[in-house]
Amino acid sequence: MNFPDSKQIVFILSGSPYNIAMSETKYIFTTGGVASSLGKGIISSSLAKLLIASGYRVAIQKLDPYINIDPGTLNPYEHGECFVTDDGAETDLDLGHYERFTNVRTSQANNVTTGRIYQAVIDKERRGDYLGETVQVIPHITDEIKYRIQLLGASGNYDFVITEIGGTVGDIESLPYIEAVRQMKWEMGSRCLVIHLTLVPYLASSGELKTKPTQHSVKMLLESGVQPDIIVCRTEKHLNQAIRNKIALFCNVNPLAVIESVDVETIYDVPMLMLDEKLDQVVLEKMQVVNSKPPDLKSWEDFLFKLKHPVGEVKIGLVGKYVELRDAYKSITESFIHAGAENQYKVQLKMIHSESVTDSTSDELLKDLDGILVAPGFGERGIEGKIIAIRYARENKIPFLGICLGMQCAVIEFGRNVLGYKNAHSTEMNAATPFPVIDIMEEQKKVNQKGGTMRLGSYPCTIKPGSKIWDVYKTAEIVERHRHRYEFNNAYLAEYEKAGMMAVGINEQNNLVEIIEFMDHPWFVAVQFHPEYKSTVASPHPLFVHFVKATMLYKKSQSE
Ligand code: GLN
């Protein structure tokens, strides 16, 4: 990076126990106004993608203003999918977008909640770190927030840290975060920049785009002492120059810093859109970064081409109990987009509510599918439907992928219907089952707190040579991410293998079954881990790529 002023800035946080020697990392904040769900995560990810494509090192983090320590204890109705990182952090689903767009791994440091901030401050207060002081929102909470923002930068690994502030400007719970941004802007000058994402609604009755909500939300930000540098306007119609000038004038920004983010066909178009709008150039100029290379987006364009020009289509059923929620299986649905593009095939997902699958509905619901995926999950609801869907896939030789609870259900189904284990179950759903084919992991038996205590994050798995899954990974040692408490009960393994359901991936440290394969079937694979967390545009997950290939072959075989 070529910055005009390369002198190291030593920044001491006022009155706090921290003293961070800053490198030249630059800090970009994204705030949201007018409405939630405008896509701050996608704008942040797209900007990161452009900067990375110009050769910079970029991290993105999300600050969430709610009081839970992490989203691991929230159900999908509240918060969509919980995304799990390599280091076992249960995080906001936006971190999934960050990884999928940038191919840069995230960690606990990339997602911080108000709960975590307060917990850290209260722990320090009890330890005596602030002896004699009154502990207050300013400076103690804001210092902790600033510390968390600068933690990634202090690693020296990043030229830019993009911090997305969750919620909408004006929310009471966002105030300490906005105050921390104000302080950092004041202290660091051009090393900090604020991008404010707002909505410019179109009023069909008057045939006009309206800028007033944007003006009001910028005013609200100004009341907190923060002048945004760039306004990104989410809109369903193009902004003309007059609208851009009006927003610029009322919000004190250059017209070139009014960026249009018009609705697009796929979120993966947004980096190209931001390139056209020169978001990256405006950012670099404002942060006084000179001599940047133009972004190299060749492989991204190749991906978009294959995504938009499929040579065929397959239909895959996703069986889960939260299918009515768009974000509940986000990483899975995105993994299918990556895997579809990799095969230059369109994957049409049929979302099937597991409670709707019964012996009498299964044929109607599942007969037109080229593949079936049974989703992860917790608890009793919808379990029997998942088991019926798996039986249908197994008996009709439809390609099948089971993930986490989906693998556990495949084991239960096989136990009940092939091995004749009447009422076989997981002890999660039925503690008194005569055949506990899925049982609680030994180390989980002593766990009595729910938050952050599952088997979380990356663990190794060894793949048996000669298995079908070997052709997928083409290596013996893999590492995948986990989020579970229950496991395959090894007391039954010999019986399963005799009947053709093989354990082909094992965690050798604790002898845990990680992957099963059913031999008498063209493609029946189930995994205890979550491959969906590791699929990115640059590196589509091989399990999804091969599953989609299997569905393509199945479809072909059906038409012959
Ligand atoms: N409920 C199961 C367990 O805890 C599966 C979890 C999941 O699907 N993520 O083991």
pLDDT tens digits for 465-522?
A: 999 999 999 999 999 999 999 999 999 999 999 999 999 999 999 999 999 999 999 9
In contact, 83 and 535? CB cutoff 8 Å: no
Active-site pick, 79, 521, 530, 541: 530
Region 26-38 average pLDDT: 93
Q: Is 479 helix (H, G, I), strand (E, B) or coil?
A: strand
Could you tell me the two tokens for 193?
């920049």
For residue 541, the 8-state DSSP code is -
Ligand 1 centre from 420 Cα, in Å?
24
Mean pLDDT of the chain: 94
Distance CA 40, CA 29 (A): 10
Per cent of the chain over pLDDT 70 is: 96
Residue to mutate, 404, 411, 450, 480, ligand 1, most ligand atoms under 8 Å from C-beta: 404
| DSSP-derived pairing of the beta strands 486-488 and 436-440 | antiparallel
Instruction: Read off the pLDDT of residues 351-393 as tens digits, 9 standing for 90 and up.
Output: 999 999 999 999 999 999 999 999 999 999 999 999 999 999 9
Q: Which of 404, 425, 487, 517 is catalytic?
A: 404
Residues with Cβ < 8 Å from 387, sequence gap 6 or more? 409, 412, 413, 416
Residue 6, pLDDT above cutoff 80: no
What is the C-alpha to C-alpha distance for residues 96 and 165, in angstroms, rounded to an integer?
A: 16
Looking only at Cα atoms, what is the longest distance across the chain? 81
Is residue 406 over pLDDT 90? yes
Residue percentage of the chain with pLDDT more than 90: 91
Burial class of residue 558, CB neighbours in 10 A (0-12, 13-18, 19+): exposed
Compute the distance from residue 522 Cα to the ligand 1 centre, in Å: 26
Residue 8, pLDDT above cutoff 60: no
Known catalytic residue: 532? yes
Nearest to residue 120, comparing CAs of 243, 18, 255, 270? 18
Q: Specify the pLDDT at position 392.
A: 98
- Tokens representing residue 126 in the block: 């009890």
In 128-226, which residue ranges form alpha helices assigned H by DSSP? 142-154, 175-188, 212-223
Peptide bond into 139 cis (omega under 30): yes
CB atoms within 10 A of CB 82: 24
One DSSP character per residue, 398-445 reads --EEEETHHHHHHHHHHHHHTS--TT-EETTT-TT-S-EEEEE-GGGT
| Cβ(486) – ligand 1 distance below 6 Å | yes
Place of tokens 């690693």: 155
Q: How far is the CA of 514 from the centre of ligand 1 (A)?
A: 13
DSSP assigned state of 140: I
Q: With a 6 A CB cut-off, is 453 part of the ligand 1 pocket?
A: no
pLDDT at 520: 93
Closest CA to 269 of 313, 298, 300: 300
Q: Is the pLDDT of residue 291 over 90?
A: no
Spell out where 213-274 has E strands. 230-235, 258-262
What is the C-alpha to C-alpha distance for residues 552 and 295, in angstroms, rounded to an integer? 35
Whether the CB of 177 sits within 6 Å of ligand 1: no
Report the distance separating Cα 552 and Cα 485, nearest Å: 34
Q: Residue 530 catalytic? A: yes
Amino acid at residue number 362: S
Does the pTM surpass 0.85? The reply is: yes
Residues 400 and 432: beta-carbon distance below 8 Å: no
Q: Which amino acid type is present at position 541?
A: H
E strand or H helix at 279: helix 279-286
Of 216, 214, 265, 258, give the one whose Cα is nearest residue 236.
265
- Alpha carbons 69 and 249: distance in angstroms, whole number: 41
Dihedral angle sign, alpha carbons of residues 372, 376, 382, 388: positive
Under the banding of pLDDT at 50, 70 and 90, the label for residue 13 is very low
How far apart, in Å, are the Cα atoms of 104 and each of 124, 147, 255? 32, 22, 32
Q: Which residues contact 245 (CB under 8 A, 6 or more apart)?
A: 255
Half-sphere exposure of 4 (CA within 13 A, CB side): 9
For position 79, what pLDDT does the model report?
84
Q: Assess whether pLDDT exceeds 80 at residue 280.
A: yes
C-alpha span between 560 and 558 (Å, rounded): 6
Residue 471, CA atoms < 13 Å, CB-side half-sphere: 11
Q: How far is CA 248 from CA 170, 214, 225, in A?
A: 21, 11, 18
Q: pLDDT per residue over 60-105, tens digit each?
A: 999 999 999 999 999 888 888 999 999 999 999 999 999 999 999 9
- Place 32 in a pLDDT band, splitting at 50, 70 and 90: very high
Beta carbons within 8 Å of 53's beta carbon, 6+ residues apart: 295, 296, 297, 300
